[in-house]
Structure 1
C-alpha cells in the first residue's frame, strides 16, 4: 500500500502538517518480511479516520502476506482524542487476538499521550532497531502447544 498524498484535511499556512502515510517493506534474516506503515504529519479530527482505515488495511495486508507489521509515528503528532481512537480500533483487534501492535517510539508528547491513554495492544519502542529486536525475540520464543500467546505489554512511558 502506498499512500503518498495528503489526507483530505484542509491544509492551511501555519496550520497542522498534512498527514502522509507510506508503507515500506524490508526482509530481515530470521524474521521474514517486516511491513512498516510510516505516518508523518498531524493526526487530527479531520484525518483520524483516514489513519485508522489505512492502519486496518496495513494490518490485514501484513496478515495475509505473513509479514510483521509495525507502525512508525516518529514524525507524527496526535492532536486530539480522535487520533487516539484511530489507533484504538486496530490495536484493540490485535490485543483481542493475543497480539500487539508494535509502534516505533513516537515523539515525547505522543509517547506521553499513548501512555496516558493506556490503549490495549500497543507496544512502543524507542527506535526501529529495538522494535525489530522485539519482533525477532517474539518470533524465536517457542510456545508450548495449548498455551496462550504472551499478552502484549502495556505502553512504556
Structure 2
C-alpha cells in the first residue's frame, strides 16, 4: 500500500551531503605532475554551477601548471541532470581540444549517467591506476576499454 511517503532507504537525514572539494598535487614517475580534484558529497541543482566552476578552474589551473587534471568521484553523488550538465560544461574545453578528463571510481549510477550522456570530455576509470595509465597512452587505453568488437574510439 502506498501512503505517499518515500521509502525509508531513500531518506537521508539532514538532506544531501554538502559538496566538498579538495585539490592534491602529486608527481608520479610514470605520468609526471598530476592535479587530483577529490569531490565528496552531492551535486544537485542548488550547487551544480559551483561544482562546474570549480572543476573548470581545476582543469585550467592544471593546464597552466603543466599538470594532468584528474577528478576523483569516489565519494560523489550526482543527484540530477543539472549535475551531469555541470560536468559537461566544465570539461568542454578538453573535449574541444580532443582530450578527456580521467574520472576515477564514479559510483555505478554516476558512471551510467556519464556513459548515457556521452560526454566527450570525460573518461570514467575504475581505478586510479587505470586513470594514470590513460594519461600515458590515452588512445591505446580507450581502445582496450571499448567492449564492442571493432568499436571506434570517441
Instruction: Give your verdict on TM over 0.5.
Output: yes
Q: Does 1:125 align with 2:128?
A: no
Larger radius of gyration, structure 1 or 2? 2
Question: For residue 76 of structure 1, what is the aligned residue in structure 2?
Answer: 76
Shift of 1:13: 4.1
Report if the CA contact (8 A) 2:56-2:91 is conserved: no
TM-score, normalization by structure 2:
0.79
Work out the CA distance in 1 between the residues paired with 2:63 and 2:19: 24
Shift of 1:105: 2.3
Work out the CA distance in 1 between the residues paired with 2:133 and 2:50: 29
Q: Which runs of 5+ in 2 are unaligned?
A: 1-11, 140-152
Listed one character per residue, the Cα deviations across residues 12-69 of structure 1 (whole Å, up to 9, x for unaligned) are 9431000000001110114211001011000000111111010111011001000000
Write out the 4+ residue segments of structure 1 that deviate beyond 4 Å after TM superposition. none
Question: For residue 51 of structure 2, what is the aligned residue in structure 1?
Answer: 51
Q: Secondary structure at the match of 1:37?
A: strand
CA RMSD of aligned residues (A): 2.3
Work out the CA distance in 2 between the residues paired with 1:137 and 1:30: 11
Between Structure 1 and Structure 2, the one with more helix by share is 2
Question: For residue 106 of structure 1, what is the aligned residue in structure 2?
Answer: 106
The count of aligned residue pairs is: 133
Question: For residue 23 of structure 1, what is the aligned residue in structure 2?
Answer: 23
